[in-house]
Amino acid sequence: MDNANFEKAEFFSCATFFKSVFFSNALFLDAKFFNCPATFNGAIFKNAAYFKKTRFELPPRFHNVDLHQDTSFHRAISIHKVGDEDDVRAWRTLKLAMNKIHNHKEADYRLEGLPTKGITWGGHQDEAGGEGVIILYRHPI
């Protein structure tokens, strides 16, 4: 896929990029994914992939993905119910993919606990296990 520019795009049905090959930069800046998980399983990013300020209603799927070292999820967020086994696997897979390209800072998030003062690398879930917010990567509170 050449010239993949989805800046500010809004996906209201399933967005599936299964086994897509992005030859040039993949821009998902400020994009929004609603109703079902964005699926990038098996995708190959040959150049930069920017998911900055991207909003995922459900955890994105990045299983067996090949990320370029210039990949960013800075200030990307996901608002969903936390705790589903598939969701936990999706976050773990994304974290492993980011670690694989040695982007440890952006991969350093957690699925539990409350945000710390100043900067948070994680998110929170309400005590009843309902709606929560996971901030994927570093952002000012």
- 74-99 pLDDT, tens per residue? 888 876 655 578 888 888 888 888 88
pLDDT at 83: 57
Give domain limits for the chain. 4-140
Dump strand ranges (E) for 82-141. 119-120, 123-125, 131-135, 139-140
Lowest mean pLDDT among 19-28, 42-51, 82-91, 128-137: 128-137
State if pTM tops 0.75.
no
pLDDT at 9: 96
Token look-up 């901030």 returns: 135
pLDDT tens digits along 39-69: 999 999 999 999 999 999 888 999 999 999 9
